[in-house]
Amino acid sequence: MTDKTDPPESKLTRSKQKWAEEGRFLTGRTARPEEERLPPGQHLTRDWPVLDLTGAPDIAPERWRLVVDGAVENPVSWDWAQFLAQPQRRFMSDIHCVTTWSRYDNVWEGLATRDLLEIVGPKDEAGFVVLHGYDNYTTNLTLADFAAPDALLAHRWSEQPISADHGGPLRLVVPHLYFWKSAKWLRRIEFRRVDAPGYWEVRGYHNRGDPWQEQRYSDDP
């Protein structure tokens, strides 16, 4: 370990470098300079508010499926065990809700959307993704936004299974957009050639929802 080409501090240096690389990859936009970390018009909260239309739907574990279909080469329908057998990653990111709260440093675990894309292989014409929840909520993303390096299908938060209130057993997390894009109780991921605005997007929310551009409502730039 301690030969002359390997000074004593190098192990720590390597670790720090590794953390920095992971941090850059894992935290995505949270690696912004501190003064840019909180998007305009947002305030920090330490708790985690619950926001949805109807509350958690009843999903019997043995009947749970995740369907990924539409414009993909290899559509899948996974039960829970099959989902858990997919590659798992751990990302840390910030939440920004359009109702103006933000919450820093959320640790998520699950299947990265990039890994999912490797598995299902979107067809060339696939430019958009629609997320469907077990509560029939929908929200839409471009394929590029869905494929963000810190986006994932998450089943754990803070080392615990995600509670039903917060979208368990499985929710999407797309940290670089307002949180309404992060569909809870995921049931289906539909790849599409043509965009299809979701529940809030047809009710006046912005089609993309970038917090740093304050894309809250459809008449925002």
Ligand X SMILES: Nc1nc2c(c(=O)[nH]1)N[C@H]1C(S)=C(S)[C@@H](COP(=O)(O)O)O[C@H]1N2
Which positions lie near Mo ion, rule CB under 5 A? 51, 180
Smallest gap from residue 20 Cβ to ligand X (A):
29
Smallest gap from residue 54 Cβ to ligand X (A):
7
Q: Is 50 in the site for ligand X (CB under 6 A)?
A: yes
Q: Is 167 in the site for ligand X (CB under 6 A)?
A: yes
How far apart, in whole angstroms, are the C-alpha atoms of residue 150 and residue 28?
6
**Residue of closest CB approach to ligand X:** 133
Determine contact, residues 143/211, Cβ cutoff 8 Å. Answer: no
Report the run of H or E that residue 130 belongs to, with start and end.
Answer: strand 128-133
Range in contact with ligand X (rule: CB under 6 A) among 43-51, 80-88, 114-122, 143-151: 43-51
Determine contact, residues 52/137, Cβ cutoff 8 Å. Answer: yes
Nearer to ligand X, 52 or 115 (CB): 52
Site for ligand X in 82-141 (CB under 6 A): 97, 133, 135, 137
How far apart, in whole angstroms, are the C-alpha atoms of residue 111 and residue 190?
16
Q: Which does 166 bind (CB under 5 to 8 A by kind): ligand X, Mo ion, none?
A: ligand X
Question: Bridge partners of 101?
Answer: 43
Residue 157 amino acid letter: W
Range in contact with ligand X (rule: CB under 6 A) among 5-13, 32-40, 44-52, 211-219: 44-52
Q: Which does 20 bind (CB under 5 to 8 A by kind): Mo ion, ligand X, none?
A: none
Centre a 10 Å sphere on the Cβ of residue 82 and count the other Cβ atoms it contains: 12
Nearer to Mo ion, 180 or 191 (CB): 180
Report the run of H or E that residue 144 belongs to, with start and end.
Answer: helix 143-146
Question: Which of 179, 198, 209, 216 is in the footprint of ligand X by CB under 6 A?
Answer: 179
Smallest gap from residue 196 Cβ to ligand X (A):
16
Which residue is it, tokens 């709260």?
101
CA distances from 1 to 7, 13, 15 (A): 9, 14, 15
Nearer to ligand X, 27 or 139 (CB): 139
SS (H, E, C) 103-116: EEEEEEEEEEHHHH
Instruction: By CB under 6 A, name the binding residues for ligand X.
Output: 48-53, 97, 133, 135, 137, 166-167, 179-180, 182-185
